[in-house]
Each structure stands twice: as C-alpha cells, then as structure tokens.
Structure 1
Amino acid sequence: MALRTTITERQRRLGSELRKLREQAGLTVSDSAASIGMGRVHLTHVEAGRTAISTERLHGLCASYGCTSSTYVDALVCLSEAKGKGWWSPYKGKLPTAALDLAEMEASSEDLRSYESLFIPGLFQTEDYTRSVFQASDTVATTEGVDTSVRFRMQRQALLTREDSPKVHAVIHEAALHVRFGGTNVMRRQLLHLVELADLPNVTIQVLPFTAKAVSALNTPFCLLTSHSGALETVQLDHPEQSLYLHAPDAVARYRRQFERLRTNALPPVNARATPVSHDSRDSLGLIQYVLYTL
C-alpha cells in the first residue's frame, strides 16, 4: 500500500469527514475497518488522507456509520473519485500546494462568499494590480516566480464566466480601495474593472465603508466555499506561510454569521446600470466613483 507523499486539501477533507462520521457513530478504527474487510492501519491512513479508498468500501463505511443522506454520501464519493487534475495541474511544483488546493476547490464550488480588508479579491484583480501585489510581497522572490503567480491568478478568474459559474458575493472594505498597488493609473483601472465585473449575473460586490457600525477593517479576510449541492462547506483563511482550511460545522457557522454581519453593514451592491438620479442614498458604486474621483 503506497502512501501519498503530498496530501491535497480534497484528500485531507475526505479523511476528516470519514473520521467525523466514525466518531459520531461511536465506533473504533478496528471495528470500522473490520466491517468492510479492511485492516485497522489501512483505515487510519485513509482517515489521514495518506491513501485512497474504493467507492464500494466508502459506501460500506457510510452505511455502517448510519449515514442516510444520499447528497452527503455522493459528495464524499466525488471527493474520493476525483483525480485532482485540472487547468492548475501544470503549476504543480511551481506554486505552493495551498494555491493549487484553492484552485481545485473553486473548480467544484457553487457558491463563494468572501471578505477582504486591504486587497481587492484575487478573482477580481486586474493583471497589473496582481503583479504589483506580488512584487511588493516577500513570498515571491524572482521575476519568473512573479510571472507564474500572475498567470495562475488570471487563469483562476475564468470560473467567473464559465458555463456553470458559481455565485460569487464579495464584501470589500473601503480601505482596499485606497491602498494604491501599482500607482494611480493601475488603481483606476482596477476600480473600473470592479464595476464591470459587478455587471455579471453571478457576481455581487459590496463595499464596507469606514463608517460602518461595529465592524473593523482588521477582521480576518476569509472565503466561504460551498460545493456538492450544499453538502460541503469550507472556510479558507489566507496566511503568508500556509492557508488554513476550516470545515467543522461550528467554525463554518461562525464565519457564515460573520459574513451576514458584514453584508448587512456594507453598502448596497454595485449596480452599474443604475441611473445617477436613483442614487438617493449611499451605495457601493457611489463610493467607488468617489474614490476614483479623488485618485
């Protein structure tokens, strides 16, 4: 039984879900493994994401754990049978594993909700803005590395306009509109690009103003991804060294509530088709236009 040397977030998630089901059922690793004709050590490796499990045995485990949700079981089967290959595959060995994990998760997502405090979200960045962000970062040390990272981020954005594109709802703190990555001209094009993207039917963009009550710009940026018909939810948190993924129900619920607070306190979404006359109150488009005027 060959063990994986690199474990992806998808593989780690499958193992975590199976371990959670087993613990909820009150079964030991030995008893669970015996129920499907598998060795205890083998199942331990499966739960750690270090090795695969057949679809037949996966169904057997779910049955022994008393899992009756067909949607959830189907989601686990998808995690197990996925090959992990996609447009991001050529970047293996060139970019951190966390970047590839995020691309794979986005590819299967149906709903993305994110909050950013000091940056424009990566899915909304222009090429020049992205380049300036990486050039100012300590995480990419070479020109070739910057070029690769920029190209990768631009390819990620294809999911916004694909045939089965997910719903994307982003809350961006006003501070991110003022941090001038790349200078004035780059920021002007970036803000205009935000307005253009907001016209997509699956994209919602709101700005959280400095004046928002009981909300701080220091809130941790995060992305809440929902996939497999809502059966799986993951919170992704960026970190300079390694991204953090949370999927415990209480953690997901906490960030879901946090996003609702941010969304509620943010200005109404950008609506590029609204006429100036209809702007009788503050909204996200008006604030973006104001920042553009002051650049």
Structure 2
Amino acid sequence: MPRPIGPTIPRWQLGEQLSRLRDRARVSQRQIAERLGCSVSKIQKVEAGEVGVVKAELEAMLSAYNLTDEQMREELFELQRLGKQRGWWSRFGAVPTPFATFLGLESAATRIKVFEPMVVHGLLQTEDYARAIAGTVSLTSDQEQRERQVRIRMQRQEMVFAEDPPEISVILDEAVLHRQIGGPQVMCTQLKHLLEPPPSVTVQVVPFESGGYPGTLGAMTIFEFEEHMHTPVVYVEGQAGNLYLEREDDLRRCSVAYNHMSASALSRQESHDRIAAVARRYE
C-alpha cells in the first residue's frame, strides 16, 4: 500500500489549475469571490493551495469559467476530494500552516535531498535527541507541548519510512556530530543510530577540512515528486525566515549548490567511519 500523499500537493495542483482557468475566462478574483459570496482573500488562498474548496464552490467556479471538458472536470473534482483530506498530522491537533505544508510535501515526495548544518535531520533523530531539541530550541516552555512536538516527529518518521518510502539523501555538516545536544549518552546513541539508517537513506558528512562551501548559507530541503504531480520545491531555512522556492532559476541554483555540497562531503563509507569515530568519543 503506497504512502498517502496528504492534502498539500492536490490543493496546490487544484489552485494552479483554477488560476489558469480563471485567467483564460477573463474573470477577476473579485468577480469570482462575489459569485461565491466569499472574500477575495479566500480566492487568493484557494489559488495558492493554502485552503481547499467544497464541491459546491468548485462547481460554481467551473461554471463561471465555462469549463465543459468532462475529463478535466473529473480530474479537478478528484483533486478537490484529495485536497479536503486530513493530513496524518491533524490527529495531533492544530499544526502551524508552514509546518503542515512541509509535512505535506514530505509525504508526497518521491525523493528528498537534505542539507543540515546545525542538527541531525528530523527523520533521523532518536526520540531522546528529539526531546532534547524540543527542550532547548522550542519557543514554548510548556512540557506537554514539547512532548507533542516529539510525538509528531516520531510519527513523521513512521509515516515517511512506511511502505514505498522516498529516496532520501542527507548531508550533514561535521559540526552536527560535535554539537552536544542532550549530553554525551544521548549523542552517542544518536550517532550510532545514524550508522544504520533506513535502506532508502544515504548519509554524507561534510568534514571540517573541506573549508567553505555553499552549505554555510543555511539548511535546505529539496522535494522532488512524480513528474505528473508537481515540479520540485525547495524549502530554505534562514535568519530572515523560511521560504518555499518553486521558480526555475531558484531550483537550478539550489540544485547546483546541493551538488557542490555533495562533492565537498565524504563518501558514504568515509562518512560512516567519521560518524563512528565521533560516537566512540561519547562512550
């Protein structure tokens, strides 16, 4: 049974299609908002894939756009149905929209390329390491809320590594291995965990001796999807905020940067040996 893709990509696909249909029909966002009896803001969010629509709203939109192609109508209603599904994360209560978007992309991706300069990537964290992260970098002092974050992270791993997992390439800066989070015992267990990643995961380490390289600009995740589903999306973390990049030139630039980071990293076996050596120091 394949992994459920979640509502994010279907909403994005539907929004993009509706935006094109509206432009082709020469209907403004204000006009369609008046027809649906909603705000222009809602139409903007629908076309951006931030929110879904109910069947009656979609029917009204397609009528306004004079869409009579039955096959296309069926495809759009299927996207509407998929977009109204609840993501697996909804069982944990309210999740911030940006993080829900990230989880949705992660659920639908067939290949994920990750660079982490500060901490072990969330999909490879042990529960104790994740708990230590939540206790030190979380913006909340609420113990129950921090435990909720840990549960979401563990469930996230379970969902991604279920049947038919994506191919995942993880590049870590060597500083990640030496930054003590949770103390020596937690770090030792965490690094040993990295030595035996799931079969779909490869781990490389960029050693200190590599000097400067593109990864010094910050953490980055590249999501790739089946060709018919969506073009790649890059998630970039930075001091000015977190961004989702989809423009072709941005994708090309990030892909080149990732390839340079991979070239700067140790081979898989050398990375394994480096991680093992650091793990022994924590014993």
TM-score (normalizing by structure 2): 0.76
Q: CA RMSD in A?
A: 3.7
Distance 1:248 1:19 in 2: 19
Distance of 1:174 and 1:223 partners within structure 2: 18
Change in 2 beyond 3 A, CA 1:79/1:260: farther
Change (3 A) 1:98 1:176: same
Paired residues for 1:17-96 under 5 Å = 17-18=16-17, 28=23, 31=26, 39-41=31-33, 45=43, 46-49=46-49, 52=53, 54=58, 78=79, 81-93=82-94, 95-96=95-96
Q: Greater RCO between the two (CA within 8 Å, min separation 6)?
A: 2
Q: Deviations over 1:45-85 (max 9, x none)?
A: 14244563648977x97x99xxxxx9xxx799647732241
Deviation by residue 1:182-222 (Cα, 9 ceiling, x = unmatched): 0001000000000111xx33111111111125416522101
Q: Which residue of 2 aligns with 1:250?
A: 249
- 1:285 and 2:280 aligned: no
Counterpart in the other structure of 2:204: 206
Residues 108, 225 of structure 2: 8 Å contact kept? yes
Check 1:249–1:216 CA distance in 2 against 1; reply closer, same or farther (3 A cut).
closer
Aligned residue number for residue 153 of structure 1? 153
Cα distance, 1:130 vs structure 2: 0.6
CA distance in 2, matches of 1:152, 1:115: 21
Matches of 2:280 and 2:226 in 1, distance apart?
43
| 1:265 equivalent in structure 2 | 264
Q: Secondary structure at the match of 2:217?
A: coil
Which amino acid is 2:164 matched to?
A: D
Q: Higher mean Cα deviation, 11-20 or 284-293?
A: 11-20
Identify if the C-alpha distance between structure 1 residues 56 and 206 changes in structure 2 by more than 3 Å, giving closer, same or farther: farther
- What is the CA distance between 1:17 and its match in structure 2? 3.4
Structure 2 unaligned spans of 5+: 1-6
Higher percent of residues as helix:
2
1:223/1:133 Cα in 2 relative to 1: closer, same or farther (>3 Å)? Answer: same
Could you list the runs of 5+ residues in structure 1 that have no partner in the other structure? 1-7, 65-69, 271-282
The CA deviation at 1:15 is: 6.9
For 1:182, give the aligned amino acid: G
Which range moves more in the overlay, 222-231 or 162-171? 222-231
TM-score (norm 1): 0.73
Identity rate of aligned residues, in percent?
26
The amino acid across from 1:90 in the alignment is R
The corresponding residue for 1:275 is none
Q: In the aligned structure 2, how far is the partner of 1:142 from the partner of 1:47?
A: 36
Going from structure 1 to structure 2, the CA distance change for 1:223 and 1:209 (only over 3 Å counts) comes to same
Verify the 8 A CA contact 1:92 1:100 in the aligned structure 2.
no
C-alpha contact 1:139 1:240 (8 A) present in aligned 2:
no
Q: Is the 8 A contact 1:14 1:79 kept in 2?
A: no
- Other-structure match for 1:279: none
Partners of 1:102 and 1:163 lie apart in 2 by 20
Instruction: Please tell me whether residue 121 in structure 1 is matched to residue 108 in structure 2.
Output: no
Q: Matched residues in 2 for 1:139 and 1:206: separation? A: 30
- The SS at the match of 2:267 is coil
| Count of residue pairs the alignment pairs up | 259
Partner of 2:173: 173
CA distance in 2, matches of 1:230, 1:212: 38
Alpha carbons of structure 1 residues 180 and 55: separation in structure 2 relative to 1, 3 Å: farther
State the partner residue of 2:223: 225
C-alpha separation in 1, matches of 2:153 and 2:129: 11
**1:112/1:225 contact within 8 Å kept:** yes
